[in-house]
Structure 1
Amino acid sequence: MFIGKAVWTYMGVDHPIVQNWTGTWSALTFAAVFGFIAIKLTEKTGFPGIWDEKISNNERFLYPVLLGLGFALVEILVGLAMNLPNIHVAFPLSIPVYLSGGIFLEILYHLIPVVFLIWLVSDILLKGKYQTEVFVVVAILASLWEPVMQITGMYQMGMLPGMGFAAGLFIFIFAGNLIPITLFRKYGFLAPVIWRLTDYSLWHVIWPMIYY
């Protein structure tokens, strides 16, 4: 994360995604510190460790890659349906931006809130009970944050052609959060990171080079 931030800061990347991104140095430091603590709490809160021997490499790498490619293809189709302009950071600076951004977002949006909330509610308040039920509630709440923010912003900018499309897009973005959280629960934190980076590689890096 820090290397990517240093690269695009040094290169003076001038793009709305970078300008509006929450990846300030303080935010990156926050993500690194609390992400490290969250990793230490993963097994206590019912998640596999990063290198859990019970998780196969297919589960840790192959399945997330396939899901990431599939999700990116749907994103491409949605972008074509909306006739989106080129909203992506140009290659080659797209590589450090989306590499570091993908890792950062998985830590900030999923690892930290999901692990800490399960630890607080299930382990501390409920004395280790109802961990699965707490996970389901937390996963749904964590998955709602991004679609609510994005759909609200797109509505305000007049980018939504209709309520049906908005509802479908909301569900799609919701799925884009629930999928990595589910991968995290089943296969450990590397799985959602691989999923995110695969998705970003096709949607944000490769596709713009082909289409625009």
Structure 2
Amino acid sequence: MKTNSSQNLFVYVLFLVICLIGIFFGRSISQEHSFLRVWEFSNLLLMMAGVPFLFLQQRAGLPDFLSDNVTRKNRIVYPVLLGIVFGILDVLVIKVLLHPEPYTELPPFLQPFPYSVFLYFSGAFEIEVFYRLIPMTIILLVGNWWKQGKYFQWFFWIAAVLTALREPLEQLPAGSAWLIAYSFLTGFLMNFLQAIWYRKAGFIASLSLRLGHYLIWHILLGIYVELIELH
């Protein structure tokens, strides 16, 4: 019977294999698409930074990736549905309201299908490792240690807010005040919910929420643009 930590490692390696397939896939079609975004092998090496934290989830008060105490609905279904809501919002605001005219080429945030599945899975995985897995595990480890966990809840909410701020601050768009406000508020809320789901159901739940968003915003919108607007 596998230990929880070895299950974490198994899942992590499986995710890395998907990223590796994406690298080879991208390189094989790079001559056909001048705008293609392709991961480098150095990206995979960088992801090794997350490995030590796979063995510290329980110590940090977080569920292991495949914890028996977490249902599949909480681990995958509900987070994906939440992410889909954010994806639909982005499509309605940014595509339907701000850019209703057809694209003449794929914009930078879209990539050709089915390669887009691998690229955006890899991107979501990378973000969750460096925005959630590493920082939240560190902060909550300290929270469990400090005064024997007396202020653990405070440490969690601080971690949730800090990790929720990073992405929207890094990706503030140029444009009107309302667009900047929309981008910041929805970005913060999605990341904040990811922190909550991470504590509730583990790393896969947080990743699933982001993948639900990417499914709509990056993958399905990309298919629509490729098949409808570019033809």
| TM-score normalised by structure 1 residue count | 0.83
- The answer for the alignment partner of 1:186 in structure 2 is 200
Which residue in the other structure is 1:34 paired with? 49
Query: CA–CA distance in 2 between the matches of 1:177 and 1:48?
Result: 18
- Which amino acid in 1 is paired with 2:133? L
Partner of 2:223: 209
Unaligned runs of at least 5 residues, structure 2: 1-18
Structure possessing the higher radius of gyration over alpha carbons: 2
SS in 1 for 2:171: helix
What's the offset of the Cα at 1:2? 2.5
Q: Tell me if structure 1 keeps the 8 A contact 2:131–2:163.
A: yes
Runs ≥4 in structure 1, deviation > 6 angstroms? Answer: none
* Secondary structure of 2:59's aligned partner: helix
2:139 and 2:23 mapped to 1: Cα distance?
28
Q: Which amino acid aligns with 1:44?
A: R
* Letter matched to residue 81 of structure 2: L
Aligned partner of 1:82 in structure 2 is 98
The alignment partner of 1:48 has SS state of coil
Q: Which residue of 1 aligns with 2:26?
A: 8
1:114 pairs with 2:136: yes
Judging changes above 3 Å, is the alpha-carbon distance between structure 1 residues 126 and 175 closer, same or farther for their aligned structure 2 residues? same
Matched residues in 1 for 2:152 and 2:28: separation? Answer: 44
Cα displacement string for residues 101-133 of structure 1 (whole angstroms, at most 9, x for unaligned residues): 2112211221112112322x3245555442221
1:55 and 2:70 are equivalent in the alignment: yes
The answer to whether the 8 Å contact 1:68/1:196 transfers is yes
Report which stretch shifted further, 76-85 or 39-48: 76-85
Distance 1:118 1:6, change over 3 A: farther
Residue 171 of structure 2 corresponds to which residue in structure 1? 150
Give distance in 2, aligned partners of 1:203 and 1:168. Answer: 15
Q: Gaps (5+ residues) in structure 1?
A: none
Q: Taking structure 2 as the reference length, what is the TM-score of the superposition? A: 0.77
**Do the aligned residues in 2 keep the contact of 1:28 with 1:104 (CA within 8 Å)?**
no
User: The residue matched to 1:43 in structure 2 has which SS?
Assistant: coil
Per the alignment, residue 125 of structure 2 pairs with 103
User: Which of 91, 111, 117 is matched with 2:113 structurally?
Assistant: 91
Q: How many residue pairs are counted as aligned between the two chains?
A: 199
Would you say the 8 A contact 2:83–2:190 is kept in 1? no
Asked whether 1:65 is paired with 2:65, we answer no
Greater RCO, 1 or 2 (C-alpha within 8 Å, sep 6+): 1
- Alpha carbons 2:64, 2:203 under 8 Å: kept: yes
Q: 1:106 to 1:15 in 2, by over 3 A?
A: farther
Asked if 1:140 corresponds to 2:161, the answer is yes
Which string of whole-angstrom CA distances, capped at 9 and with x for unpartnered residues, describes residues 63-106 of structure 1? 11211211111111121223285330121221211122211221
Contact 1:8 1:93 in 2 (8 A): yes
TM superposition shift of 1:136: 0.8
Kept in 1, the 8 Å contact 2:57–2:64? The answer is yes
